[in-house]
């Protein structure tokens, strides 16, 4: 009998077609609770998660047939990786699948902030052609872009920023100085050095204990006056109270935010009331192209595990010996 895979939150038609060729598939809402997921997946060999529920130790431990967890996306912050490894459950995802989309979105937010696109649009619709329509605008050419996290996305942002005539500096403790230079980024010794020198700061890191609230009051204090801040990574890497204080004081000229500490962001969040803040609902990595590619990539990885083949991208490689019985 075909193995059972539960899919939370839907799947692109091409990914679903691949999955249904080798498995029985059950689709559930992306808002499913842990108890609800356990009830649906009691005999499942695989679960594909988007964002909810969290893939916790208790959820995985409650499913005796579970062999593989798929993350529909790049980040693994919703998956308890140590627990999965302890339980012998492979975790696969789709790294790189949305890198172009997120990089493009980050550049879009930078330009929209520099050109105050939303405010200018609103004024133009009101036939406001006064002096104020240009006084806050500036060019990216000749400015310094600081990138925090120079991985698949950061390197693409660097390339585009270079084409705009920007000087690009960055910090990534997991990438050598030589490799940073290969990626078009002048390496800096630490994040504070980036913040002090950059006219525009953009974040491209996962959310971990190490990066939680890395953009806090101390980080804002290090920034150049009039900086533009961009975050398309994870909302919990920023302390929104510190961002708000920086924006209201004028230390931060403008911010482009695709992510928030709590999502969906509440409509009464003070950040949403500021004209110099441009926002989007965590969609930087969501396009027709990425949804297709992501679905195909993670589906293929899950099916490899269920066939007893080692996946190409295994987030917790230490679990693999425990899955030897699949071979």
Residue 213 sits in a domain of what CATH number? 3.40.50.720
Kindly report the pTM of this predicted structure.
Answer: 0.88
Q: Within this chain, do residues 203 and 233 fall inside the same structural domain, yes or no?
A: yes
263 a catalytic residue: yes
Burial call 248-265: b when 16+ CB within 10 Å, e when fewer:
eeebbbbbbbbbbbeeeb
pLDDT higher than 90, residue 41? yes
Q: Within this chain, do residues 72 and 199 fall inside the same structural domain, yes or no?
A: no
**Number of domains into which the chain is organized:** 2
Q: 113-127, 154-168, 189-203: which has the minimum mean pLDDT?
A: 113-127
Catalytic residue among 263, 307, 309, 312: 263
Catalytic residue among 183, 234, 253, 304: 234
Element (H, E) at 20: helix 13-22
Catalytic residue among 204, 282, 301, 304: 282
Provide the mean pLDDT of the chain.
94
Q: Within this chain, do residues 273 and 293 fall inside the same structural domain, yes or no?
A: no
pLDDT higher than 90, residue 134? no
- pLDDT-based confidence at 30, cuts 50/70/90? confident
pLDDT higher than 90, residue 100? yes
pLDDT at 325: 46
Q: Mean pLDDT, to the nearest integer, of 201-212?
A: 95
- pLDDT-based confidence at 323, cuts 50/70/90? low
Q: Is 129 exposed, middle or buried (0-12, 13-18, 19+ CB in 10 A)?
A: exposed
pLDDT higher than 70, residue 234? yes
pLDDT higher than 70, residue 215? yes
Domain of residue 311 covers 4-95+288-326
pLDDT higher than 80, residue 326? no
Q: Above pLDDT 90, what percent of the chain?
A: 88
Q: Within this chain, do residues 154 and 303 fall inside the same structural domain, yes or no?
A: no
Q: Within this chain, do residues 152 and 140 fall inside the same structural domain, yes or no?
A: yes
282 a catalytic residue: yes
pLDDT at 32: 82
Q: Mean pLDDT, to the nearest integer, of 261-276?
A: 96
pLDDT at 327: 42
Q: Within this chain, do residues 69 and 201 fall inside the same structural domain, yes or no?
A: no
292 a catalytic residue: no
Q: Within this chain, do residues 47 and 128 fall inside the same structural domain, yes or no?
A: no
């Amino acid at each position: 009998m075909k193995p059972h895979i539960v899919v939370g939150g839907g799947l692109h038609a091409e990914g679903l077609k691949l999955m249904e060729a080798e498995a029985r598939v059950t689709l559930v809402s992306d808002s499913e609770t842990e108890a609800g997921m356990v009830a649906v997946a009691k005999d499942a060999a695989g679960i594909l998660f988007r964002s909810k529920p969290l893939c916790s130790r208790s959820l995985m431990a409650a499913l005796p047939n579970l062999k593989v967890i798929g993350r529909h996306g790049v980040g693994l912050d919703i998956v308890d990786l140590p627990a999965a490894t302890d339980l012998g459950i492979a975790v696969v995802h789709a790294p790189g699948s949305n890198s172009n989309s997120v990089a493009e979105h980050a550049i879009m937010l930078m330009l929209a902030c520099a050109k105050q696109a939303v405010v200018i649009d609103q004024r133009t619709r009101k036939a406001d052609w006064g002096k104020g329509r240009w006084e806050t605008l500036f060019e990216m050419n000749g400015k310094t872009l600081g990138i925090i996290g120079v991985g698949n996305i950061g390197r693409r942002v660097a390339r585009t920023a270079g084409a705009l005539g920007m000087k690009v500096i960055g910090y990534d403790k997991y990438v050598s100085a030589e490799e940073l230079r290969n990626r078009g980024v002048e390496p800096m010794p630490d994040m504070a050095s980036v913040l002090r020198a950059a006219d525009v700061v953009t974040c491209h890191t996962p959310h971990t204990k190490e990066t939680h609230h890395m953009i806090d009051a101390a980080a804002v204090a290090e920034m150049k006056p009039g900086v533009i801040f961009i975050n398309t990574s994870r909302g919990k890497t920023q302390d929104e109270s510190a961002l708000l204080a920086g924006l209201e004081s004028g230390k931060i000229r403008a911010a482009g935010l695709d992510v928030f500490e709590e999502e969906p962001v509440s409509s009464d969040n003070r950040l949403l009331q500021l004209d110099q803040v441009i926002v989007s609902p965590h969609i930087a990595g969501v396009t027709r192209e990425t949804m297709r590619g992501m679905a195909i990539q993670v589906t293929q990885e899950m099916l490899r595990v269920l066939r007893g083949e080692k996946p190409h991208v295994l987030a917790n490689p230490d679990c693999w010996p425990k899955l030897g019985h699949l071979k």
